[in-house]
Structure 1
Amino acid sequence: MTNIDFDHPDYFANIEDVFSAFQEMSWQVKKGIFACGDDEQLQKIQAKVPVVFYGFGEENDFQARNIVKSTEGTTFDVFVRNNFYDTFSIPAYGDHNVLNSLAVIALCHYENIESKVIQSQLETFEGVKRRFSEKKVADQVIIDDYAHHPTEIKVTIEAAKQKYPDREIVAVFQPHTFTRTQAFLNEFAESLNKADMVYLCEIFGSAREIHGKLSITDLKEKIDGAEIITEDNISRLKKHGNGVILFMGAGDIQKFQEAYENQLQV
């Protein structure tokens, strides 16, 4: 379990409602649970099986320390119940990827897999589709990410800044569902303001809600210098030629990316 965060506001009433769903699942686990101990909600999880905690805090069973971030990736030491275990390197960026790797290390440790095997696999892991999926088109760095929650947007922008500290980070974001946008309007603005420039696409609805009570303008007004972008005026991104363009969203944000890539190849 990586975290418990409030989301899907069209289904869950609040964070307590989300926690209840996780707690119900936890009672059904047969062997064991690996959970991020840095997460306030996960600290309260109860189970009939052992719960192994991982994270940055000293109270965790598996702890990441001495984290070194660079443009090539991230290196960190792992301590198991305050005893040094080994050093690991990942070709990935952001604290969330350190935590994800730590969860894998903890699981492998319990399965008695040697650290050198874990190290080798982590060093060559290329990630998953639509999570910081990077490409270069006509000298323009483009990153595609499924991020559609404020927390995901925040860590994706931070990861881009780690890899490209000297470049402008440009966020192109398409909100997914009206209820989520309304519930997290301020949080979306706070996360997106971490980018150097923000472009917003129209809100993508869902099968349960085609229309909503707010528009993309409501979000735009909360973000410094943000602009609304469409497929027809996507070429305005060209002025960020030396920047890193982050396309984020869970709807059809990829059509905006494809439109821009076509512009670059003209």
Structure 2
Amino acid sequence: MELSKINRVYFIGIGGIGMSALARYFAKRGVLVCGYDKTRTKLTETLEREGILISYLDESGSLPCAFLDNHDDTLIVYTPAIPKDSKILNHFKNQSFSLKKRSEVLGIISKGMFCIAIAGTHGKTTTSSIVAHILKDTGYDCTAFLGGITSNYNSNVLFGANNVVVVEADEYDRSFLTLHPDVAVITSMDADHLDIYGDKSQLEESFHLFAGQLKAEGSLYVHEGLPVKNAITYAANSTADAKAENLRVEGSKFVFDYSDQTQQIKDLNLMLPGKHNVGNTTVAIAIALKLGISADKVKQAVANFKGVKRRFEYIVDNEKQIYIDDYAHHPEELKACFDALRQLYPEKKLTVIFQPHLFTRTRDFADEFAKVLSTADDLMLLDIYPARELPLEGINSQFLLDKISLADKQVCSKEFVINYVAKTKPELVLTVGAGDIDTLIEPLKNTLNHV
């Protein structure tokens, strides 16, 4: 299907962060965009205010007239998280509509463009957002499809006037193999999505296949230590080809020097805390310099990057309380988040509210989760967020809690969390997880601001 011939698009699961970015892109092109999602959220409400018609009823009768019959100019985009028995999904299948996954549509859009694709089991949203921001802020420009809401632009899609596109390449169900990038980045290859891949070796094989999708004259960047050959390596405080050096904390900012085999930039200021984010920024700098952007412009862009919503996002920051929200849902992500908190606030007691994401992930990484969560000072576990999965016998938050070697720990409800925070007035609070834990943000914010 050619992009220029698409006049109508229907999104099944339009409220997803990646799906909503595509919906906004097509709406900007003047295409008729409609969609379905299971629940109304702030994001779907924003899409509705932008003129996109959304239904929350999984019935073919809820479809707009424009999508009842099949037409050559109509595209249906669906997320793998949609149940196979979805009535809307099966309506389009039975009518032989053209159905594509989000990744396939990104392949259609990026075809013929200069594509910068960021892949990795974690770090890809922040890295792709930093890359896109540097290109925008310096005037180089780009279009970008991101897996989070960037704070600088308050959006997950950016529109550019040139032929450059930045995409977050998702490894889930090998989606990223629809892309053929000019610049590719692999941030991490930790075991994840084992419900899809079976074991880590299969996951790693998919990343090798992704690296093989690189165009003939393309550039491949991988985090130092990953088992990928013929690549430019990067990392913070290392011997990589592109590296951050002299890393230090000044106030609430991380300051570092950048160097590669040809250039050096001194005293870069980064608002995003954590060594892992310094690493993410390092590869973004390397790409920008490779594209010919001046070091001075890059330095300025890095300094004014405000981050991504739900990626170490400060919700409350005053003399009495600090409340940070983060999307981390893998043990390595949790460890990086905790490490950043300890570097910034070594003397403060850390109260963590964590919502495990997926029964299979909780089962597969229970020991790793337990090891990281045991380093908190006070821990509250919410019930596991199932997302696309059905429950697994014996796998629940109590199963995880029993493995955690921490005295102050409990499984509790969201209501208990709000009351507990109001009563105990903790000085450093972290909500963390990829499910619906973000519904706690406003209540906790209000609670802490009235302490």
State the TM-score, normalized to the length of structure 2. Answer: 0.54
The worse-fitting range, judged by mean Cα deviation, of 27-36 and 57-66 is 57-66
Report Cα offsets for 1:162-185 as digits up to 9, x if no partner: 222332211100000111001111
Structure 1, unaligned stretches of length 5 or more?
none
Question: What is the RMSD computed on CA atoms of the aligned residues?
Answer: 2.1
Letter in 2 for 1:221: D
Q: 2:240 aligns with which of 57, 60, 66?
A: 60
Decide whether the 8 Å contact of 1:167 with 1:243 is kept in 2: yes
The 2-side partners of 1:167 and 1:153 are apart by 18
Cα shift at 1:57:
6.3
Q: Is 1:255 paired with 2:439?
A: yes
Decide whether the 8 Å contact of 1:94 with 1:156 is kept in 2: yes
1:14–1:71: structure 2 CA closer, same or farther, 3 Å change rule? farther
Query: Which residue in the other structure is 1:244 paired with?
Result: 428
Query: Which residue in the other structure is 1:6 paired with?
Result: 191
1:227–1:113: structure 2 CA closer, same or farther, 3 Å change rule? same
What SS does the aligned partner of 2:255 have? strand
Query: Which residue in the other structure is 1:119 paired with?
Result: 299
Decide whether the 8 Å contact of 2:248 with 2:255 is kept in 1: yes
1:253–1:97: structure 2 CA closer, same or farther, 3 Å change rule? same
Map 1:186-265; keep pairs closer than 5 Å: 186-223=367-404, 224-225=406-407, 226-234=409-417, 235-264=419-448, 265=450
Cα shift at 1:260:
3.3
Decide whether the 8 Å contact of 1:157 with 1:169 is kept in 2: no
* Greater relative contact order, per chain length (Cα 8 Å cut-off, separation 6+): 1
The 2-side partners of 1:175 and 1:203 are apart by 5
Q: 1:24 aligns with which of 198, 209, 221?
A: 209
Query: Which residue in the other structure is 1:155 paired with?
Result: 336
The 2-side partners of 1:59 and 1:35 are apart by 13
What SS does the aligned partner of 1:232 have? helix
Q: Is 1:171 paired with 2:352?
A: yes
Letter in 2 for 1:207: R
Map 1:123-142; keep pairs closer than 5 Å: 123-136=303-316, 140-142=321-323
Decide whether the 8 Å contact of 2:381 with 2:411 is kept in 1: yes
The 2-side partners of 1:142 and 1:257 are apart by 9
Decide whether the 8 Å contact of 1:179 with 1:212 is kept in 2: no
Query: Which residue in the other structure is 1:36 paired with?
Result: 223
Letter in 1 for 2:220: I
The 2-side partners of 1:58 and 1:256 are apart by 38
The 1-side partners of 2:280 and 2:332 are apart by 15
State the TM-score, normalized to the length of structure 1. Answer: 0.89
Q: Give the length in aligned residue pairs.
A: 258
The worse-fitting range, judged by mean Cα deviation, of 133-142 and 143-152 is 133-142
What SS does the aligned partner of 2:194 have? coil
Q: Is 1:100 paired with 2:280?
A: yes
Decide whether the 8 Å contact of 2:236 with 2:276 is kept in 1: no
Decide whether the 8 Å contact of 2:223 with 2:235 is kept in 1: yes
Letter in 2 for 1:169: L
